[in-house]
Structure 1
Amino acid sequence: MEYISTRGNVEARGFIDTVLMGLADDGGLMVPVQIPQISAETLAEWRGLSFQELFLEIFSYYTNDEIPYDDLKKMVNTSYANFRAPEVAPLHKVNDSLYVLELFHGPTFAFKDVALQFMGELYSYIAKVRGEIIHILGATSGDTGAAAIAGVRGKEGIKICILHPHNKVSKVQELQMTTVDDANVLNLSVNGTFDDCQQAIKELFADLDFKGRYHLRAINSINFVRILAQTVYYFHAYLQLPADIGKINISVPSGNFGNIFSGYLAQRMGLPIGKLIIATNENNILERFVLTGEYKPGNFVGTHSPSMDIQVASNFERYLYYLLGEDAVKLSAYMSLLKTDGKITVEGELLDQVQKDFGALGVKNQQCLDIIGKYEQEYGYLLDPHTACGIAAYEACSTPEDITVTFATAHPAKFDESIALTGIQQEFPEPISRLFSLPQHMTVVENDLEQIVGELKAFF
């Protein structure tokens, strides 16, 4: 298996070199030269595997044996040893047509733990076997930062800097990042939006001299290994359902298109997914793209689901590459158009294909709260606001005959500001309650690349 850039100007790389590159050197995103096909027979053989065993099976198609099996197995087992659920991601039946895959049983109570606990182990392994210096640089709308820091804090040979938008993440998300006092962790709180943080990251990775001199590595979903690790739980969800289930729909809260693209990859690999449903909030660029074919960033809106308060979905480029028939020239032309005109439009057969691939719903703030109240009252099941958006999208885009799995992307305690608006009082898990008594460690900076670079140089 080799990996190439969506924009076609990077020499094919192996698995580890792809991990280390993160954002492709030509500004594109790395993708596999071909997507492995999983037969129905193989899928049946995987039924009954543990999450860890399934992870090893799927990764074996992508790693080219660059990591000895025993080393990979040790990393996987270490990554998921501290999850609170033995299944890693248990499947909860809500009613006859709806299941919820709980992805919040990792150390930071969010779905990002599933990929980032492994990425922390992987980067640590690469640092040791290759003698590499690993300086991780990432941006977060809330959950990636905490999960990334939890994955690498205190690890030898690794430093991590995370940018987050100042006062635009939940208090628990902020505390999970900023109460970490390890010497290898730097939190920069940027006076701006997540899109501003993400743009700074992209500019720094695009500066190949700076990237090389400071050994920058990516932990955001621009890194293909994040996408691949998330693909595992799509297979895991399906394989927990009855063997005769047929095709299922999957509703995914998604702001940056990474999680939903993992589902698209799983579907392309052969997982029987009927429709992937994109759940967004009032920052609804993805819903507008699916409904109209226009991809155009709009005005930022603060919502009850802040991890999806995103206008520029960085993983959208990967999907567009496949939509355009894996034509890097066409893809590059579209991305140039986005830069010059501020939008991309697809029409005709391309739009028809988009609407075959996805359903979508941009959930309004009050609708999100109403769903939280409804499911707590009717089923005794408390949803975080992002999962509530996923449930609202399930209700809008599925029929009663469909079987739909909605991803629960975070524990509700991470977003008590939103839950409290419904009148529901919840009890915090002890690890989250403890955060409020700890001192914080972060540096507030302006949305200014020069100032951010200065902080990075001093840290690295």
Structure 2
Amino acid sequence: MHYISTRGGIAPIGFAQAVMMGLATDGGLLVPTAIPTVDAERLRMWAGLSFPELALEITTLFIGDDIPRADLKALIDRSYSTFTHPEVTPLVTAGTTRILELFHGPTAAFKDIALQWLGNVFEYLLEREGGQLNIVGATSGDTGSAAIYGVRGKARIQIFILHPKGRVSPIQERQMTTVLDANVHNIAVRGTFDDAQSIVKTLFNDLPFKSAYQLGAVNSINWARILAQTVYYFYAWGRLTGGEINQRISFSVPTGNFGDVFAGYIAKRMGLPIERLIIATNRNAILTRFIQTGVYAVEQQVHQTLSPAMDIQLASNFERYLYYLYNGDTAQVRARLDDLQRTGQLSVSDALHQQAQADFAAVAVNDAETLDQIRATEQASGYILCPHTAVGVRAAQDWPDAVCLATAHPAKFGEAVAEAIGREAPPPLALQGLLDQAARCSELDATAAAVKAHIEATLSGVASA
């Protein structure tokens, strides 16, 4: 299996090189040269596998010989041994609502499913090749802590995570800043998540800086993140249908950066019988507006909501979808992205808009509806939703049989939950006592120059230690 850029500017590379490259050197995102297809017989066989067994089968299709199968199995088994539920991603019901719980990892968020594995893959490749890696990432809440927990204390790796100051929940902030391992560096930028994400992309597009400091990515711009997240779509389908190939199911996916629902799109292209992929957004509804109108247009500001991990204007993985929407025509992708850069919006033809509407449904959910859904679900079933999951459940109202992805434990968003039902959700062990622990974080202006200088100074200190 080889990987190319959505912008067409690099020669095909293998999986290991793609993982370490993160963002393509031409500024694009890496995609496989072909998406493997899975036939009915294999789907039926996969339906009975455990989550780690299924992860091995799916990732092998995209990794090829870059990691020997025995080594890959060991990496997967080690990654998911850190989860507190034996099924890793159990499928449960809350009244009549089907919920896929993705929050049983070390940081109680769905990002653990990819980042526990990716951290171990990084470590494996660095040990094999004798390299060093300096991870730089931006987070709107959960990616940062999951990435940190995935690589904390690992040799050959330093990690720098940017989060928007005051725009993540207190628990999310403390999950990051209370990790005091010497290789972990938290940065609070005075701005929005989009500012932080823009800084990260600017640093990766500074090719001399990226090369000199061996930068690596953990955001969903890294293809390995998307790959790991395809697994739970197959797992949920198998648990729900028992391998009945004629049974199709829908998924409602809370999304801001488009990575989670894009993983479902890849699963569908592989052959998973998905009826509908529902994009669930909050007030920051650029993706919903695109599906409804065919125009991807940036608003003047990012709105702060009760579901902060989705407070995003520019969804990084949308570029990957454009690549497939234009059937791999990288010139068209570059042209549309140029439109977006120049005018703040891009549009597609009527035919492509109809294709997008065939690929996805999309629903925007406001804060009042989010609180109402948390309250209604708790009153009906006793089950407590996090605000992001509540967005997904509310968005699926017209698809009552859909599987709704629960992206985080509700205890991570105590204020929102308490506002909805009058009390906070009981915290899992992983979240207990965080607010009382010592923390470490640097605060910087939201500029690439400030962050670049901080990284240079920090790594200089590491080198001389």
* TM-score normalised over the length of structure 1: 0.98
Letter of the 1:371 counterpart: Q
Match of 1:412 in 2: 410
Who is 2:445 aligned against? 446
List per-residue Cα deviations over 1:304-352 (Å, max 9, x = no partner). Answer: 0000000000000000110111111111111111111110112311111
SS of residue matched to 1:386: helix
Q: Which amino acid aligns with 1:224?
A: W
Counterpart AA for 1:167? G
Q: Distance in 2 between the 1:276 and 1:19 partners? A: 27
Q: Which residue in 1 is equivalent to 2:345?
A: 343
Q: For residues 285-317 of structure 1, give each alpha carbon's deviation from its aligned partner in whole angstroms, at most 9, with x where no partner exists.
A: 011001011101112100000000000000000
Letter in 2 for 1:172: I
**Aligned with 1:367: secondary structure?**
helix
CA drift at 1:427: 2.0
Give 1:437 deviation, angstroms.
1.1
Which letter maps to 2:338?
Answer: S
Distance in 1, matches of 2:249 and 2:420, equals 31
Whole-Å separation in 1 of the counterparts to 2:91 and 2:179? 31
- Note the residue ranges of structure 2 that are not aligned, 5 or more in a row: 460-465
Map of 1:287 onto structure 2: 288
Summarize the alignment of residues 206-217 of structure 1 with structure 2, pairs less than 5 Å apart.
206-217=205-216
Counterpart CA distance in 1 for 2:113 and 2:453 is 32
> Residue type of the partner of 2:329?
D
Specify the alignment match of 1:258 in structure 2: 259
Cα distance in 2, alignment partners of residues 279 and 134 from structure 1: 34
Match of 2:274 in 1: 273
Q: CA deviation at 1:433?
A: 2.2
Deviations 1:221-253 (A, max 9, x none): 001000000001111110111333611110000
How do residues 60-459 of structure 1 correspond to structure 2 at under 5 angstroms?
A: 60-96=60-96, 98-243=97-242, 244=244, 246-298=247-299, 299-395=301-397, 397-398=398-399, 400=400, 403-425=401-423, 426-459=425-458
TM-score after normalising by structure 2? 0.97
Question: Which residue identity is paired with 1:290?
Answer: I
RMSD, aligned α-carbons = 1.0
Q: Which ranges of 4 or more aligned residues in structure 1 deviate by more than 4 Å?
A: none
CA distance in 2 between partners of 1:161 and 1:275 (Å): 37
Matches of 2:101 and 2:114, distance apart in 1: 14
User: Could you tell me how far apart the structure 2 residues matched to 1:122 and 1:458 are?
Assistant: 27
Report the Cα distance in structure 1 between the residues aligned to 2:101 and 2:160, rounded to whole angstroms.
28
Asked if the contact 2:289–2:296 (Cα under 8 Å) also holds between the matched residues in 1, the reply is yes
Letter paired with 1:48: G
2:54 partner amino acid: L
Identity within the alignment, %: 50
Contact 2:116 2:146 in 1 (8 A): yes
Letter in 2 for 1:301: H
Give yes or no for contact 2:95–2:380 (8 Å, CA) kept in 1. no
Q: In structure 1, the residue corresponding to 2:284 is in which secondary structure?
A: coil
Give the CA deviation at 1:95. Answer: 4.5
Aligned match of 1:46: 46
CA distance in 2, matches of 1:242, 1:260: 21
Gaps in structure 1 of 5+ consecutive residues: none
